[in-house]
Amino acid sequence: MLSLFLDPLAYDFFLRALIAASLVGLVCAVVGTFMVLRGFAFMGDALSHAAFPGVVVAYLLHGPFYVGAAIASVITALAIGWVSRRGDLRSDTAIGVLFAGMFALGVFLLSLIPHYVGDLFGFLFGEVLGIGVGDLIALVLLTAGVLAVVAVLWKELLYSTFDPLGAAASGLPVEWLDYLFLALIALTIVVSLQSVGIIMVVAMLVTPAATAQMVTRSFGRLVATSVVIGALAPIVGLYLSFWLNTASGPTIVLVETSVFLIVLTLARLPSRASRALVESA
């Protein structure tokens, strides 16, 4: 029985994948909590898709993919922020236009490459088992950077998320914090691309916080709960994918989705029971 858990650890690639996916889950959960509270779920989806042309260009130039992904994603994030702040377009419209356009650009560039590029498809659906030592180091550094910024600006991000007008009036640089937060989302997505892929990153960002929201109404516990879910789900998911021989990214996401559905069901139960009581009384 124990060997079921220990055997996979004999493989270096599995160990690397465990560390990588767990870190990705953790940083996604932290940034995702602020995203969910700001109503930014769609933004997460948009920025991950927008990273794709950056990945393809990096591949064409033989550069590191995260640099390309970061540039494309951060530029898109700032462009969305700028367009929606100017007020010419609603922000969801701006997101819709830029997100599809950037992804199309990525697929277009991909189609220009004459030979088969399996590597790039890994970025669409995630290939955490393929993470190398260099990738892992970059991932650790980027994760540490994002978490450090959130830790330093914790209360400023909280205040400007909760009450941007009150925060700005008290002198917090709210506009600057908004742009910074968009950049943090973009970097978090870059960190996550290899593990879960462009299409499913949004689940890593949103699902843990959405799950945690059902069990607590305190901000500290909300973040703590989503971090626990975010860091543990990839471990469970990776073992499942190893045993079942399934794709790792989708398996991780499905673990998070299952936890969400279970908590949703449990959270509904007491209220249904109390409603039944009220109706029978």
Partner 1 sequence: MVIAAPTTTVAVRVLGVSAGYDHRAALEDVDLELPPGSLVAVFGPNGGGKTTLLKLIAGLLRPWSGSIEVLGQPAGQAARRIAYVPQAEQVDWSFPVSVWDVAMMGRYARLGAWRRPGPADAAAVSAALARVGMLDTRASQIGALSGGQRRRAFLARAIAAEPDLYLLDEPVTGVDLTTQEDLMALLQEETARGRTVIATTHDLAAAAEHFSTVVAINRRIIAVGPSELILDSELLSRTYGGHMLVLGDRAVIMDDAHHHDVASGHEQHYHEGAGERR
Positions in the binding site for partner 1 (CB under 8 A)? 37, 84-87, 152-153, 155-156, 158-159, 162-163, 165-176, 213, 216-219, 222
**Least Å distance between CB 227 and partner 1?**
14
Please say which residue, 145 or 156, places its beta carbon nearer to partner 1.
156
Please say which residue, 142 or 209, places its beta carbon nearer to partner 1.
209
Nearest-angstrom CA–CA distance, 262 and 256: 10
| Strand intervals (E) in 109-155 | none
Please say which residue, 134 or 171, places its beta carbon nearer to partner 1.
171
Nearest-angstrom CA–CA distance, 239 and 107: 32
**Least Å distance between CB 171 and partner 1?**
3
Closest CA to 17 of 203, 249, 230: 249
Q: What type of residue sits at position 193? A: L
Nearest-angstrom CA–CA distance, 27 and 163: 24
Please say which residue, 81 or 122, places its beta carbon nearer to partner 1.
81
Here the tokens at position 143 are 């994760």
Here the tokens at position 264 are 């949703």
Q: What type of residue sits at position 258? A: S
Nearest-angstrom CA–CA distance, 141 and 246: 29
Nearest-angstrom CA–CA distance, 110 and 116: 10
**Least Å distance between CB 274 and partner 1?**
16
Q: Per-residue b/e over 59-77, b at no fewer than 16 CB within 10 Å?
A: beeeeebbbbbbbbbbebb
**Least Å distance between CB 210 and partner 1?**
13
Here the tokens at position 38 are 């700001």
**Least Å distance between CB 85 and partner 1?**
6
**Least Å distance between CB 55 and partner 1?**
32
Please say which residue, 67 or 168, places its beta carbon nearer to partner 1.
168
Query: CA 238 → CA 15, 22, 146, 221, 254, distances in Å?
Result: 10, 10, 24, 26, 11
Please say which residue, 6 or 151, places its beta carbon nearer to partner 1.
151
Please say which residue, 7 or 175, places its beta carbon nearer to partner 1.
175
**Least Å distance between CB 251 and partner 1?**
30
